[in-house]
Structure 1
């Protein structure tokens, strides 16, 4: 600098980093801006800060002749901890443990089936050198199916003392117990209904099934478009399977299909 040239003892000062201090670092100013933003509700924006710093009082306080820029307002929002992001979605839990809510809670029971096979086993493992093949059963073997209900409130649908259960063990197969069908689903369902009314009578219970074909069935003589003839027929009947007390088919009967109905209760035939 010229001063140093004239006097070598006049060492010039290092000017780098000597810019103006960021105004938002002032805790009082940041607090006032936050209070102002709270009055704007949930949907605030950087423009709200620009307008606030453009008021006559704030211009005098900041020693400015014009409000801050929009880019500066965005930086101030970041400095104060605000982030531009999508609204968070959380689980509403306020009051869910109040006595009146707990007393009228609904218990959800989920139903599912799992099938286990006789020859289920691990087939991939660390084998030592020189290991030879060993004979193994062919096919999956006999199967056993377990159908049960479970809830987050009571666990498996069993009695508190364990003496009664809604679980059903079924040995599927043509030469065994046949195949698990909708009739078995209904028997297990009414057993479950009886148990929840017996052991938890003060609660409301909802049973939830998946969309498996076993869980979907109409009455044998229900109106079905897939089984109707194209034209009018006076002697068209629906085949209904007859079963004995053990659920085995013992014969076939033919019944007239139920009438269809319009919304105004006029027979659609």
Structure 2
């Protein structure tokens, strides 16, 4: 017996490309770290370890301290009907047990999440930006840039409920659903 994972092919995500690493290390991370003084900080268990501290040295500082910063990450998760563990104990001479082909039907859950508040929801109204989507040609279609924009607009409507003493920052990853070409732009897919 030996533990192994059934391979399905090569996957490359591009996170270690030289230009991506450079941007992450030289631009993104330093910028986020520059905001830390105005953010609540939490340990790995979600316990608050430091209250946000206003930066009194800011050039535009007045008697009102700079607003606390809350970062909201756009989270898209897809779950598949035939999702299963592929790593298991197999006897080297044991029979191969067939399993369903493909990943099966999928369900996409999309929302904004922050370390401080969890999933984005209105504290007073109970409104939410939570979206359950069944992607596919004969289902709900596909989550597009229009859906991302509408979800961001819905989020902006909820943010005033958190009060005027916070500055909210939304962070989106570089998924293809977040990209938009001009309507008249050339596309090999539509030629």
Report the TM-score when normalising by structure 1: 0.42
Secondary structure, in 3 states, of the residue corresponding to 1:175? coil
> Are residues 219 and 130 of structure 1, via their aligned partners in 2, closer, same or farther at CA, if it must alter by over 3 Å?
closer
Q: Which has the higher contact order (CA 8 A, sep 6+)?
A: 2
Matched, 1:173 2:129: no
Match of 1:154 among 114, 117, 121: 117
Flag the 1:203–1:120 CA change in 2: closer, same or farther, 3 A: same
Cα distance, 1:199 vs. partner? Answer: 3.7
Report if aligned partners of 2:68, 2:165 keep a CA contact under 8 Å in 1.
no
Supply the distance in 2 between the matched residues of 1:128 and 1:201 (Cα, whole angstroms): 62
The residue aligned with 1:97 is 53
- Could you tell me which residue of structure 2 aligns to residue 141 of structure 1? 104
| Alignment check: 8 A CA contact 2:108 2:132 kept | yes
- Greater per-residue helix proportion: 1
Displacement after TM superposition at 1:176 (Å)? 0.5
Could you tell me how far 1:98 is from its partner in structure 2?
Answer: 4.7
CA distance 1:209–1:98, shift in 2 (3 Å): closer
TM-score (norm 2): 0.57
Specify which of 121, 137, 156 is matched with residue 193 of structure 1. 156
Structure 1 residue corresponding to 2:79, chosen from 110, 116, 121: 116
Q: Does the C-alpha gap of structure 1 residues 204 and 98 become closer, same or farther in structure 2, counting only changes over 3 Å? A: closer
Taking a change above 3 Å as real, the CA distance of residues 179 and 195 of structure 1, as seen in their structure-2 partners, is same
Unaligned residue ranges in structure 1 (runs of 5+) = 1-89, 228-238, 240-269
Q: From the superposition, tell whether residues 218 and 124 of structure 1 become closer, same or farther in structure 2 (CA, over 3 Å).
A: closer
Determine helix, strand or coil for the equivalent of 1:191. Answer: helix
Q: CA-to-partner distance for each residue in 1:215-242, whole Å, 9 max, x for gaps?
A: 1225535xx5x58xxxxxxxxxxx9xxx
**TM-superposition CA deviations, 1:177-222 (whole Å, max 9, x none):** 111111111121111111112344442212121222221225535x
Residue of structure 2 equivalent to 1:214? 177
Q: Distance in 1 between matches of 2:170 and 2:181?
A: 19
**What do the CA deviations read for 1:105-138 (whole angstroms, capped 9, x no partner)?**
2222111312111111012223579864444211
Structure with larger Rg: 1
Go from structure 1 to structure 2 and tell me whether the alpha carbon gap of 1:194 and 1:162 turns closer, same or farther (over 3 Å shift). Answer: closer
Q: Distance in 2 between matches of 1:217 and 1:130?
A: 52
CA distance in 2, matches of 1:168, 1:110: 14
Uncovered stretches (5+) of structure 2, i.e. residues with no partner? 1-32, 39-50, 56-63
Change beyond 3 A, Cα 1:171–1:199: same
